[in-house]
Homo-oligomer: A and B are copies of this chain.
Amino acid sequence: MARDSISNSVIRRLPRYHRFLGELEANGYIRISSRELSEKMGLTASQIRQDFNCFGEFGQQGYGYNVSDLRREIGNILGLDKHTPMILIGAGNIGKAIASHLDFRSKGFVLTGAFDVNPEIIGKPVGEINVSDISELESFCAENKPVSAILCVPTSVAPAMTEKLISCGIKAFWNFTHYDIRIEHKNILVENVHLGDSLTTLSYGLNRIDEEGER
């Protein structure tokens, strides 16, 4: 039975389910049981069934799940059938790489604008679009109503830029700066990536392996 509030742990597993089901589909799988999927993904079958049942009854007793049906259902839950307009703020190294590395459309978004302060970058292409001067941000937003933004500016200007973007109507932030966007505003969504923290975690793990070796 579909629940009202889904736990964050479940939500974070959904994209991974979607990804794995895509691979299975590509490999010609028609059906899969929770047990088989659990082995492929390193989860328990129980957890998988619990997760899916947060949203509805997608399986069939005695049979399992239809791979492409299940994948489509999860895709819809994730909003991947939409194309939410997204803009890139800061088109330097990391911004450019992210914009051109990912397929936004298959993830529920479409990149409609990119902005920077650097005259050497302005006018140059990033993915399918050209970089605009940041001074054009407000008029662009008024006209095109983007609802989400990738934040790839220097950390120092991140807080002010966040405020400005909110005033321009941005509702969701994909944040690559080293600044933690804190959600004092209601109904503003933030996904803090923090690649530095991710790398630091790896350092922690390596040190534990080393310690074991020393014993």
Contact = CB atoms under 8 A, between A and B. Distances in A.
Give the copy number. 2
A63 interface: no
B19 A203 contact: no
A185 interface: no
A160 B191 CA distance: 31
Given A189-B209, A205-B189, A206-B84, A15 B108 contact: no
The binding surface of chain A is classed by DSSP as helix
Given A14-B200, A15-B196, A207 B104 contact: no
A203 B42 contact: no
Interface string A92-133: 011011101111100111000000000000000000000000
Contact of A193 (B80, B93, B195): B195
Contact of A107 (B16, B102, B196): B196
Given A14-B200, A171-B209, 5 more contacts: A15-B194, A93-B101, A108-B207, A172-B205, A193-B195
